Amino acid sequence: MLDKLIRIISEWRRKRKWPAEAQLLRMQSVVQEDQRWMANNPIVMAITQRYLPLLADDWESNPLEDVSNFRERIGLSPHVKPKSSDASCAPCAGKTMCVRPLYLASQEKTKQKEKTMTNLEKHLDLLGMRVQDKVTGFSGVVASICFDLYGCIQAIVNPGMDNDGKMQEQHWFDVSRLKLTSSDPVMKRPNYSHGYQAEGRQGAAEKPNSQKV
């Protein structure tokens, strides 16, 4: 009887320390990380794109593709014989089956997203990118984006450390003055679409304090 009571209390403490919400956030983080680091594989990309909407806060409003259609679309249906991979085809190279149709579909989807991408999303995509000011030549990494009440959109550029290992002063610039000098962010961007970061539950952080140039 005492052992049973101890097990019940231990389980209660475990669930209190690790609630279901923490489990969900952990799963969401892992799926996002898998999507990022295996984005070169169109099958992995398709699977993670299927799961992420189910982990969002508004999961009940996101449509879910029928699994039979989904597995046929990504070439994993046991009833459809997959085509052999073609070493001369870039998407298929190193794969055990042809993934070119799925690859082309994902590329087309990416192009459509870029066409419909709002200016707001384009500005947020500056986060983590290396940029250079067209006027002064000042360069660094975009650490924050500011949308103020007066219609001005600015980015703060962090130049990093100097030759002596001291942090250099960062400055705000109008986004129209900045040109990209890298194709990928220096680190993974926060997810501002869904999850605890999008809900403002990341926690307090020291805000950039610098002058506008």
Both 93 and 104 in a single domain? yes
Q: Which two tokens stand for residue 70?
A: 């989904």
- 78-117 pLDDT, tens digit each: 776 555 444 445 445 444 445 555 555 555 565 665 555 6
Q: Which of 116, 149, 181 is the last residue of a domain?
A: 116
Q: Which of 76, 91, 116 is the last residue of a domain?
A: 116
Both 111 and 126 in a single domain? no
Q: Which of 90, 116, 142 is the last residue of a domain?
A: 116
Both 108 and 15 in a single domain? yes
Backbone angles phi and psi of 204, in degrees to 5: -70, 150
**Does residue 52 have a pLDDT over 80?**
yes
Grade residue 63 by pLDDT with cuts at 50, 70 and 90.
confident
> Considering its fold, how many domains does the chain have in total?
2
Both 186 and 211 in a single domain? yes
CATH number, domain at 203?
Answer: 2.30.30
**Does residue 36 have a pLDDT over 60?**
yes
Out of 37-41, 146-150, 176-180, pick the least confident: 37-41
List Cβ neighbours of 28 (8 Å cut-off, separation of 6 or more): 52, 55, 195
48-57, long-range: CB < 8 A, 24+ apart? 52/28, 55/24, 55/27, 55/28, 55/31, 55/194, 56/193, 56/194, 56/195, 57/194, 57/195, 57/199
* Cα angle for residues 142, 56, 29 (degrees, 5° grid): 55
Both 105 and 141 in a single domain? no
N residues, the chain? 213
**Does residue 150 have a pLDDT over 70?**
yes
Residue 16 belongs to what domain range?
2-116
What pTM was computed for the model?
0.45
Whole-number pLDDT of residue 90 = 47
Both 99 and 127 in a single domain? no
**Mean pLDDT (the chain, rounded):** 77
d(CA 174, CA 211): 12
